Structure 1
């Protein structure tokens, strides 16, 4: 506690120095949802409330994931959310994750598919959204076979998850890689929850807010975020936000 107070004294600004911190991400509900909606997403609300402790506000906008990665590297905005550290190696990453997400494979409900390692993908077409991490083994498989259209359907569109579910149920792909809460949310929106089966793979993945390597305030923002998150955790507010977005059962 004493060390947190010392860090806070070093980085907390006075009221006149309150910043508007610009954050971008693709739509990945319920973690980050549509810009300007009444429920902008769990991670957006966590970020907003964590920075409110230091008097800062958040301006969040949706961007396609590849564009958000490219523009944040250039310092065109302050940071992006929902990033796994291995995908943003040169960014400034706080010590505290925004969320933990469970990688899953979606298959048709009647499918007999079971996952016993990437050898299970032999002979089937697997779809994944470009730029996401799943497990080390699966990530290596996707990289190794990225150009093999018989094995991998790599999707770059911002609506890759919703599109993937439609392709899965139409029989155009055999399996869809994603994350539990996101695919559950999308399946509910499409009214197809009973038509798919989600298979958990690997351990939950910690995802973070990643601050631009080219922005001058990134290290200060990372420190302020950690302080705000410790306050949210102690107050019980993090648990309340998880309940709001139906994430009580998430890791």
Structure 2
């Protein structure tokens, strides 16, 4: 039979080992610190939607951020701000990320491993219109083209023409610019409107105008759409990694397609 001192030593060792095991268990079972990320949002549905204008919908990229980052205990707060202002605030570290942007516009931001959408600027006109975009000469032939001031429509031919400030281009700004452009198109004041294809189609459906318009030409450039994070936030690389890993899981188990179906769109990878 072991002596009293020996039993005490064994008990002490056992207690110490138990304490260490509890410590290690807590270390690996306790989730990482949960953050609330403040994300810039602008009206570019269905990528990025202002909830108050879209029956509570925040856009598929907003839903994707909530789902992927929420899987690791993080929460999202959407901050309504103009697109250009949002980029500035994210760059300065005053916001944690932006819901949707082009990598070319913010090469210093932190990105997931792959794009979360694809954008292609497309012209739309009335169903009975004979005008069709097929290059610079066709732009000159349009009576009046509607654009949103300050937007980058990506295609070099289109942007070169717009940057010359021609008289047959109407650039508008202010609240709900796309809605106003569509109303002007329907009223016969514009020959065509240019916008990302799924953005304009989504807005036309909302406004019950889809049967009155048609695609009247597509530009040659397709560009990737990304969610991005602030270069000033030391946790941005981790957020981007989470979005990448969790999005792949969602694609594999079908949750991603179910999310996209709520906006009437398909997985950009399948396009």
Shorter-chain TM range is 0.7 to 0.9
1:35 matches 2:51: yes
For the residue of structure 2 that corresponds to 1:17, the secondary structure is coil
One of 135, 153, 157 as aligned partner of 2:174 = 157
Q: Which residue of 2 aligns with 1:183?
A: 200
User: Matches of 1:152 and 1:64 in 2, distance apart?
Assistant: 22
What are the Cα deviations for residues 175-210 of structure 1, in whole angstroms up to 9, with x where unaligned? 211122221122122222222112333354320012
1:127 matches 2:141: no
For the residue of structure 1 that corresponds to 2:51, the secondary structure is coil
User: Matches of 1:14 and 1:206 in 2, distance apart?
Assistant: 36
- What stretches of structure 1 move > 6 A for 4+ residues in a row? none
Contact 1:23 1:77 in 2 (8 A): yes
Q: Please report how far the alpha carbon of residue 214 of structure 1 lies from its aligned counterpart in structure 2 after TM superposition.
A: 2.9
1:57 matches 2:110: no
For the residue of structure 2 that corresponds to 1:49, the secondary structure is helix
Q: Please report how far the alpha carbon of residue 149 of structure 1 lies from its aligned counterpart in structure 2 after TM superposition.
A: 4.8
Count, aligned residues: 237
Contact 1:75 1:213 in 2 (8 A): yes
Contact 1:92 1:213 in 2 (8 A): yes
- Give the 3 Å change call, closer, same or farther, for CA 67–85 of structure 1 in structure 2: same
Contact 1:54 1:228 in 2 (8 A): no
Q: Which residue of 2 aligns with 1:4?
A: none
Contact 1:26 1:158 in 2 (8 A): no
Alignment of 1:59-208 (within 5 A): 59-124=77-142, 125-129=144-148, 130-142=150-162, 144-145=163-164, 148-198=165-215, 199-208=217-226
Highest CA radius of gyration, 1 or 2?
2
- Give the 3 Å change call, closer, same or farther, for CA 17–215 of structure 1 in structure 2: same
Q: Please report how far the alpha carbon of residue 103 of structure 1 lies from its aligned counterpart in structure 2 after TM superposition.
A: 2.3
* Uncovered stretches (5+) of structure 2, i.e. residues with no partner: 1-27
- Give the 3 Å change call, closer, same or farther, for CA 174–214 of structure 1 in structure 2: farther
- Determine which structure has greater relative contact order: mean sequence separation of CA pairs < 8 Å that are 6+ residues apart, divided by chain length: 1
Q: Please report how far the alpha carbon of residue 32 of structure 1 lies from its aligned counterpart in structure 2 after TM superposition.
A: 2.1
Q: Which residue of 2 aligns with 1:6?
A: none
What are the Cα deviations for residues 57-99 of structure 1, in whole angstroms up to 9, with x where unaligned? 2112322222212222222101112211112222222222222
What are the Cα deviations for residues 199-242 of structure 1, in whole angstroms up to 9, with x where unaligned? 33335432001222333322222222212212212221111111
